[in-house]
């Protein structure tokens, strides 16, 4: 494949599952590094900071650092600072990503309702209780804006597929009569931030992901070459029923160096 000058890589389901390296992925990333190809790991993961993600990946042998990682929380913080400055934000998310939300005013739990100007959804987990969702609903009914780090329906764990934020978000949008501002994949703003990070135009960039909609087709709509891998959350029926066709389909990320002629 000619003309590719940089690579964007999803993490969960592409390089790892439950933070364990998939076969051949460490070696493949090493080959991209050895070729001097600029790259960034782009993830909707909302349970860990960039530093913690880099640490987990380094433990598995991946040659990456925090500066190589672009997370949905980090992009969301930038978005909130730019579009909702000084807003009080109610965060509903699994995991601690406070370090990636620098400059954002997070409302402490237990504040009187409605205490938030913006409701921020991260990744789903035990924190997505009825009480939390109902508090968010009441804030939205009182005029708060809704920002979601992503709309993923599910994600792959070592035990199988688990529900994610996109399984809850549409119901809340309909009940409150609002539409979420999405900051992570598949938003164009996320990919624009990633391209700016790399300093390479979309026409010379390739995106590798296991989610045909949020990773691959979303990237292709931004002019980025899309590569779908048959690992992680990939399912044949989602490929058949998709609104578009990936530029390339590989069995795994381990095949990417060969595709790029490395």
Q: How confident is the model at residue 123 (pLDDT cuts 50, 70, 90)?
A: confident
201 or 184: which leads in pLDDT: 201
Domain parsing of the chain, residue ranges: 6-44+185-260, 73-182
- 6-44+185-260 and 73-182 agree in CATH topology: yes
pLDDT at 112: 63
pLDDT at 45: 82
Q: Percentage of residues in the chain with pLDDT exceeding 70?
A: 98
| pLDDT tens profile 193-246 | 899 889 999 999 999 999 999 899 999 999 999 999 999 989 999 999 998 999
Query: What would the mean pLDDT of 63-78 be, rounded to a whole number?
Result: 91
**Omega prior to 131 cis, within 30 of 0:** no
Q: Is the pLDDT of residue 111 over 90?
A: no
CATH code assigned to 6-44+185-260: 3.40.50.1000
**Please, what is the average pLDDT of the chain?**
92
Query: Which residues are 119's β-sheet partners?
Result: 90, 146
- Residue 33's H or E segment, with its range, is helix 25-34
- Residue 28's H or E segment, with its range, is helix 25-34
Q: Is the pLDDT of residue 1 over 80?
A: no
pLDDT at 152: 85
Query: What would the mean pLDDT of 32-46 be, rounded to a whole number?
Result: 93
Give the angle 155-254-166 at the CA atoms, nearest 5°.
Answer: 15
Tally of CB atoms within 10 A around 122: 27
Query: What would the mean pLDDT of 37-50 be, rounded to a whole number?
Result: 89
68 or 189: which leads in pLDDT: 68
Its CATH architecture, for the domain 73-182, is 3-Layer(aba) Sandwich (3.40)
Q: Is the pLDDT of residue 118 over 80?
A: yes
| Cα separation, 84 vs 88, whole angstroms | 9
What angle separates helix 188-198 from helix 72-83, to the nearest 10 degrees? 100
pLDDT at 215: 94
Q: How confident is the model at residue 96 (pLDDT cuts 50, 70, 90)?
A: confident
Q: Is the pLDDT of residue 133 over 70?
A: yes
Q: Is the pLDDT of residue 11 over 90?
A: yes
Q: Report the predicted TM-score, pTM, of the whole model to 2 decimal places.
A: 0.79
pLDDT at 17: 93
| pLDDT tens profile 141-168 | 999 999 999 888 888 777 888 899 999 9
Q: Is the pLDDT of residue 113 over 90?
A: no
């Amino acid at each position: 494949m000619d003309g590719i000058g940089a690579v964007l890589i999803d993490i969960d389901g592409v390089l790892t599952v439950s933070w364990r390296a998939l076969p051949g992925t460490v070696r493949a990333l090493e080959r991209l590094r050895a070729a001097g190809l600029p790259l960034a790991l782009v993830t909707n993961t909302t349970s860990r900071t960039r530093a913690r993600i880099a640490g987990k990946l380094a433990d598995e042998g991946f040659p990456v650092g925090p500066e190589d990682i672009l997370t949905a929380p980090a992009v969301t913080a930038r978005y909130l600072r730019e579009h909702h400055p000084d807003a009080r934000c109610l965060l509903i998310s699994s995991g601690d990503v406070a370090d990636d939300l620098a400059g954002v005013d997070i409302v402490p739990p237990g504040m009187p309702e409605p205490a938030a100007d913006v409701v921020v959804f991260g990744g789903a987990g035990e924190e997505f209780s009825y009480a939390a969702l109902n508090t968010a609903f009441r804030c939205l009914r009182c005029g708060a804006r809704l920002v979601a780090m992503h709309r993923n329906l599910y994600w792959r764990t070592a035990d199988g597929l688990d529900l994610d934020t996109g399984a809850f978000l549409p119901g809340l949008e309909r009940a409150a009569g609002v539409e979420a501002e999405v900051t992570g994949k598949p938003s164009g703003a996320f990919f624009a931030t990633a391209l700016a990070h790399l300093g390479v135009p979309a026409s010379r960039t390739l995106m590798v992901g296991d989610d045909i909609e949020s990773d691959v087709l979303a990237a292709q709509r931004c002019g980025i070459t899309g590569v779908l891998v048959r690992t992680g959350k990939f399912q044949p029926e989602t490929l058949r029923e998709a609104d578009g066709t990936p530029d390339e389909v590989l069995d795994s990320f381990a095949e990417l160096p060969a595709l790029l002629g490395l």
